[in-house]
Amino acid sequence: MATIPDKEPYIQDITPDWYQGKVAKLSMLRLDVVHPDVSGNKWYKLKYNLQYCLGHKLNGVLTFGGAYSNHLAATAAAAHAYKLKSIAIVKGTYAAEQLTPTLQFCKAHGMELIFVAHETYKQKNDADYLHELSLKYPDMHIVPEGGANEEGRSGAGEICSYISGEYNYVALSVGTGTTLTGIVNALPDDRKILGFAPMKRGAYLQDELKTYIHSGKQDSYRIYDNWHFGGFGKHNSELLDFMNSFYTAQHIPLDVVYTSKMMFGIRELIHRSEWGSDSKILCIHTGGLQGNASVKDRLVY
């Protein structure tokens, strides 16, 4: 039954040329390796949602996402592996012949795609809209965009079992902040969690996430939003060059939407001596490599 994950995550020390002596240790937790199709943080956020379906004898998962969403791709593949149905409410309309590689993948894994206008999509967290959906699809477990629910947060907390005690900083990319929240809540207080937002004005998450962060942990995390490269899903040649040189030096493929922007930010902050020279930083590779399909021709991997 447990076909996912098919590989154990592991920690890999990294020594890019820009790290030299500025911090004591820089490592990467390779969650990207856990499964080719359900990679990175996505498996952890889905795990208890799938269990919920099985436990409540529901037919599958209904969730939300954009045309490049790693969450949709992972949900489609995971549901397929567990012989569950999956339905996606997709932001925007795409004709069958214009489907993005992500949506093609979803479809190939049996996901039903329901396209809605941006106006409708905006209602994704509204009680009325969700009620309507639950009446229409009573046999489905409705999971918010990005797996941002209690099941998602508690599954994400399990990532902490791979974070060894020697690190005083844990860095990761944030979208909804579900993974960060789960990790902050599950790690001891003496760790500082650094969240890197890949979109403009992502610092709003600092306050928004407080709702779900356990009391006493409100100062355990910090969100940086300086490295968005023009906005969510946007990139330039500087970022692509960085991804290529990082791969050449470290043999780690970063994704263009999330982890590349985090590592770019970390390089910048290390340059500026943001952290003391005795700092040990663990960067989490949250996966997302399927999203590189659109820039494949410009990457060396």
Ligand X SMILES: *Cc1c(COP(=O)(O)O)cnc(C)c1O
Decide if residue 286 touches ligand X (CB under 6 A). Answer: yes
CA distance 107 to 234: 25
Judged by CB under 6 A, the stretch of 130-138, 206-214, 238-246, 251-259 that binds ligand X is 251-259
User: In the structure encoding, which two tokens stand for residue 130, read together?
Assistant: 């969700």
Task: Figure out which of the listed residues 258, 265, 283, 292 binds ligand X, where binding follows CB under 6 A.
Answer: 258
Using the structure block, give the residue that is written with the tokens 């004591």.
Answer: 24
Among candidates 237, 267, 233, which has minimal Cα distance to 249? Answer: 267
One character per residue 35-64, x = contact with ligand X (rule: CB under 6 A):
-----xx-----------------------
9 binds ligand X (CB under 6 A): no
Site string for ligand X, 126-165 (x = CB under 6 A): --------------------x-------------------
Residue 174 as a binder of ligand X (CB under 6 A): the answer is yes
Instruction: In angstroms, give the least distance from the CB of 179 to ligand X.
Output: 3
- Distances from the Cα of 153 to the Cαs of 36, 107, 195, in angstroms? 22, 27, 15
- Please check whether residue 81 is in contact with residue 56, taking contact to mean a CB–CB distance below 8 angstroms: no
Kindly write out the interface string for residues 73-112 of this chain, putting x where it contacts ligand X by CB under 6 A and - elsewhere: ----------------------------------------
Instruction: Candidates 21-29, 112-120, 129-137, 280-288: pick the segment binding ligand X (CB under 6 A).
Output: 280-288
Q: Does 175 bind ligand X (CB under 6 A)?
A: yes
**178 scored as a contact of ligand X (CB under 6 A):** yes
Q: How far is the CB of 63 from ligand X (least distance, A)?
A: 12
Size of the site for ligand X (CB under 6 A): 19
- Rg (C-alpha) for the chain, rounded Å, is 19
The single residue among 27, 63, 86, 173 that binds ligand X, judged by CB under 6 A, is 173
**DSSP character for 123?**
G
Instruction: Report if residue 259 touches ligand X, rule: CB under 6 A.
Output: yes
Q: In whole angstroms, what is the distance from residue 152 CA to residue 147 CA?
A: 5
Cα(141)–Cα(53) distance, rounded to whole angstroms? 6
Q: How many residues are recorded in the chain?
A: 301
From the list 79-87, 102-110, 174-182, 236-244, the region that binds ligand X by CB under 6 A is 174-182
Q: How many CB atoms lie within 10 A of CB 234?
A: 15
Tokens of 60: 């599958």
Q: Which of 196, 180, 193 is nearest to 268 (CA)?
A: 196
Nearer residue to ligand X within complex by CB, 137 or 155: 155
Q: How many CA atoms lie within 13 A of 38 on its CB side?
A: 23
124: Cβ contacts below 8 Å, ≥ 6 apart: 64, 89, 144, 145
Nearer Cβ to ligand X, position 75 or 259?
259
**Nearest distance in Å: CB 135, ligand X:** 27
Binding site for ligand X (CB under 6 A): 40-41, 70-71, 146, 173-180, 255, 258-259, 286-288
